[in-house]
Structure 1
Amino acid sequence: MLKAQLDLSVPCPETQDFQPCMGPGCSDEDGSTCMMSEWITWSPCSVSCGMGMRSRERYVKQFPDDGSMCKVPTEETEKCIVNEECSPSSCLVTEWGEWDECSASCGMGMKKRHRMIKMTPADGSMCKAEITEAEKCMMPECHTIPCMLSPWSEWSDCSVTCGKGMRTRQRILKSAAELGDCNEELEQVEKCMLPECPIDCELTEWSQWSECNKSCGKGHMIRTRMIEMEPQFGGAPCPETVQRKKCRIRKCLRNPNVEKRRWKEPREKRRSEQTKEDIDGEQFPGCKMKPWTAWSECTKLCGGGIQERFMTVKKRFKSTQITSCKDKKELRACNVHPC
């Protein structure tokens, strides 16, 4: 560039200079130069899942002056991968689109590219494929003073007292850039994990009360409930699963003639009979009972069942209308643990 001509009598040197250069697809061999176009965009990948091929083309803009054929390739191919995992639990996605423009006009920025989901997993699971990808991009150096930022604060406490939560940290802008906006992030968020949350014991509702285990006099009946969830990680323990309460249907009648006769017998005879009765069974007014049978098998292997046992009449005395001399039955809960 000519700045100034101080002496008009002295010619200035040339202000332009030339140097040969090659356009795309040109060759300096033999003058047989092909003039080629720029490459056209890549074709879609040949497969929708896994590894395939893609191609792109260009065309001859000008043939060589000597009339020879162009030997420069007009097509090229390369491998491409779409949806690396081709299983029923994977998504089918399109190829990545072109990168967006850099987020910064100068200095360091970010750029993104996107793709779309073509088909969700065949097994009905959630689609885990990323549809946005970001990477850093560097633009020409900025002629500005950088942002002045404070150091990051300490991480906050986890947002939960147990299990999975989030925590944050911040920094502040101490002085803005003299030119342009300051795009630095001022808050960061990350996941945090604390010990598992306690799980309390869970029970079903109470069953109905069983029948009274005695047909007369004082007896008892029971009700049960099952454990649906055992306590975990320090949760509240399980309360009782069996409850018992007293029941009384009616008074047991006694025969006065039998009682009177028993007390008139000699003491030694009564004592020997009592010893014999202890071996053979229990003595009730008006009758002698066989010993209790063994408990029956539980009606259920789990989830709360019932066992029963019986006492049957061994001998009835001759006195008439003795209502207390009846077979007896007892019930109790068993196998109350959950299935």
Structure 2
Amino acid sequence: MMLPWLNRVPLLLAVAWGLGGLETPAEASLCYEIFDDTSGSCVELLGDGLSQEECCLNLQYGFRLHKDAPCEACRPAAWSEWSPWTPCSVSCGEGTQQRSQACYGQGDCGQESRRWELKPCGLDGCCPVMGGWSEWAPWGPCSVTCLRGAQTRERTCTNPAPTCGGTCPGSNVETRSCDTQQICPTHGNWGSWGNWGACSATCTPEGPGPKPNKQRRRQCNNPAPSSNPPGNRCPGDDQESQACAGLPFCPQDGNWGTWKPFSDCSVTCAVGRRLEKRLCDSPAPKYGGQPCRASDTRSFACNTGVPCPVDGHWTEWTEWTPCSRHTFTGKIECREIPGFQRRTRKCVDRAHDGKRCPGELNEMRNCYSINMCTLPGIWTDWSPWGLCEPACGENPMRSRKRECKAVYPDYSMDIQAAAGSSKVFNTSFWGKPWPKCEPLEGQRLRLVETVPCQNVLPCSD
């Protein structure tokens, strides 16, 4: 479907950050190169002086009407992919999980902008069972070898052990004070500093910043720590530093100058990029310094004013027409007499010289009509449990079913095109037959079982 504003092609407009002399269009917005369908966010800003119509010349782009506005997609409205299922609503026993999808784009997807699904989870989990403590172990040794310290003892959560993630209440460690009745050692103290060593570099940086330094050392010998009982070593460092003076300047690296225009627009339709270039001259490297790092080019948005091509895509196939045979005057239903069916589709939304849809508009097939025919039937196995419904209403339920399915007649499914021809057509059954099964719990066509969903998550919107 072509958006109405795509018929109005604006004039060429180049928008550059930092370049003056251009007027801001009406309804100016922020234009982005990518609209992220997963999160509904805009990525890769192209420019902030484009109108919505100019940005959306490419339907893959996204825009914001102002910097605090939500991101919007240029394309026609469509549902996003389903979000991941949320964690189970309970850590044990039966709960529920939830997921949703949002409507992004221009227009709407119906009466809702977000829809939800809910399913059961944790059907086989177990709930935590608390454990019990063992007896305390003997007290451990004292934490010091002189004067007073502390000692601890422990116990384990094994009497009985917890299950399914349970724990034991309280602590597994107990502490009390202890006296060693021993004399403490002599601790060390620093002696005098030694002479300064050589400088750490032969040059000094120009301007502020770290400078070269020199160091000196000292020994822990005034007194030295005792060995029996052992004393502590001297606190602090055994060396210190001091800045050096009178050194020559070190090499100075270069710095970038101002940006200048460098290239034409990168695309021939919608909004693209234009390059700018800069020089390493503010200042240039000196004292043997390094040249400028990083890139000497950057890009900014430019608008060609030309819509991009939009390729066509097929609609869904129509339903197959009823199975019939125009050259046969009798009734073909419930008989081994082949007929024919036809279905069609349309190529839509092609615009601005986009590609045509590949493939055919029409499709035909051979068929046997079993519509309204009474056929023998057989009960299916139970289907998997379905989703919780309603997803956002009260008392959601889940269900499963068994159905009486028709046993199709043993007709030939390969039909020769014509006498003497080697070409064979596959044939399909068409119509809604009446299957006949033995009654199951009083039901003849369908048996349904429903149960309530447990620990249901609420919908956030």
Give the TM-score of the pair, scaled to structure 1: 0.24
Ranked by relative contact order (alpha carbons within 8 Å, sequence separation 6 or more), the top structure is 2
Give the TM-score of the pair, scaled to structure 2: 0.18
More helix by share: 1
